[in-house]
Amino acid sequence: MPTTDDLLQQHDQLTRRYFVGLGAAAMTGIALSRAAADLPPELAEAVGKLEYLTPDARFKNVSRGTPPPPTLSPEARREAGMHPDTWRLEVIADPETDAQVENPLSKELGTALTWTDLMRLAEERAVCYLHVMTCLNVGDPCGMGLWEGVPLRDVIWLAKPKANIRQVFYNGFHNHDPAQIFRSSLPFSRALEDPPGQPPVLLCYRLNGEYLSPNRGGPVRVIVPDAYGFKSVKWVERIVLSNAYQANDTYAEWNNDIDTPLKTHARFLSHPETARPGQAIPVTGLAQVGGAGLARVQVSLRPKESTTDVEWIDAELLGPPTRWGAEIGDGPLPGSPLGFDASGQPLDWPQPFTLAHWAALLPPQPPGEYELSCRTLDAAGHAQPMPRPFPKSGNNTVQVVEVRVEG
Ligand SMILES: Nc1nc2c(c(=O)[nH]1)N[C@H]1C(S)=C(S)[C@@H](COP(=O)(O)O)O[C@H]1N2
Ligand SMILES: [Mo]
């Protein structure tokens, strides 16, 4: 999980550009903004390190298992196949159904896919794109990444699937203990073909230009671009092609809606906890862009326990960052990502299944206790948390924080 400081660092630069853009009328706000030119020195220093992408080590880490596989010693991880030299991926028919696979990639037969095989495929077939990793049950994203891999279907086709297949089941390494296995699944059709405008499901080996760390699922994890994190299984070691017609996700057993695409929703990144009368109130945040798209972000500031209707004010949606950050730093995104032109410019912004940043300057308030909220409006005009307000299909409750104006 990025700390608040990390997120502030990541967003100060964007914010500063916005507040400077607001011009003279907003000068009070600029003087107040933590991103303004008169920053305290420690913050000014942080402004030099701003990042849009989240470094691998600063992702919120969701790794189950006793012990969690990334905490194993390097030798134990090597033995477990969590190393390029020892990683093997099986693609086999589900023995419990009549699924037919002509060329199973199996450890038993010595035909499992190796890292070398995957890298050879990658020379021709590598794909990368931006994607936000978010846990279905958590409001704040785990992190924002540029993920590179080989389309899952390219490896499935190597196994020569023949007939009677409706589901793709897959799981990661979990201490050879069936009770610990974290499983997910996809309809076979989704693995073979991408819905309009969506990139392929990946067998992913790079994040932000670097090989995946053990915590991020290295050497190889699945990335499902439109889904919450539970579909993106780490340390993937087995793919089972099944004629079952139902999913078998571990997350389904925990009362989650496993068919839900990422929702559109907003979160605060920075806001003052206290302000003075006469001072404008600068706030910044992120918006997760789900399948429903993003039209607007709005904020509201109202006295606590107020009974009047909430008044929403449009925030400013910020454009693409000039510096991507994380392991990429100042350069253009590597690997010719989908959604970018040959010169490295995004074809549109914000991009689906990523983050956008926003900022707003709220007018000065008289002394008192206030509630500050933010929300998104999706491309169809639905205000968060509609049209899907139920948390077990993704946490998108409207975030409310407190601000005190001191007399
Ligand atoms: N093998 C395995 N893969 C896993 C998990 C896990 O516990 N084991 N957690 C999943 C869940 S619920 C989430 S939200 C994401 C988080 O990815 P991250 O740790 O890279 O942030 O990983 C997913 N992949
Ligand atoms: Mo999750």
Ligand nearest to the CA of 236: 1
Q: How far apart are CA 2 and CA 143, in angstroms?
A: 7
The rounded Å distance from CA 64 to ligand 2 centre is: 10
Taken in order of first residue, the domains within the chain and their CATH numbers are 5-51+263-405 (2.60.40.650), 57-253 (3.90.420.10)
Q: Where does the pLDDT of residue 51 fall: very low under 50, low under 70, confident under 90, or very high at 90 and above?
A: low
pLDDT at 39 over 80: no
The rounded Å distance from CA 234 to ligand 1 centre is: 6
Name the residue at shortest CA distance from atom 4 of ligand 1: 233
What integer is the mean pLDDT of 376-380? Answer: 98
More confident residue, 272 or 124: 124
> What are residue 92's phi and psi, to 5 degrees?
-135, 165
Q: What is the CB < 6 Å shell around ligand 1?
A: 59-64, 133, 135, 142-143, 172, 182, 216, 229-230, 232-235
* Residue 374, CA distances (Å) to 104, 156, 245, 371, 398 in order: 50, 43, 40, 10, 6
Q: How far apart are CA 291 and CA 227, in angstroms?
A: 9
pLDDT at 47: 31
Taking only the tens place, the pLDDT of each residue in 104-113 is 999 999 999 9
Question: DSSP strand E in 174-243: where?
Answer: 183-187, 202-207, 210-211, 221-223, 236-242
Residues with CB under 5 A from ligand 2 (ion): 62, 135, 229-230
Name the residue at shortest CA distance from atom 24 of ligand 1: 233
What integer is the mean pLDDT of 183-195? Answer: 98
pLDDT at 330: 80
What integer is the mean pLDDT of 130-145? Answer: 97
What integer is the mean pLDDT of 166-184? Answer: 96
Taking only the tens place, the pLDDT of each residue in 302-318 is 999 889 888 999 998 88
**DSSP codes joined into one string, 119-140:** HHHHHHH-EEEEEEE--TT-SS
pLDDT at 88: 98
Q: With H, G, I as helix, E, B as strand and everything else as coil, classify residue 168.
A: strand
Ligand nearest to the CA of 136: 2
Strand partners, 89: 113
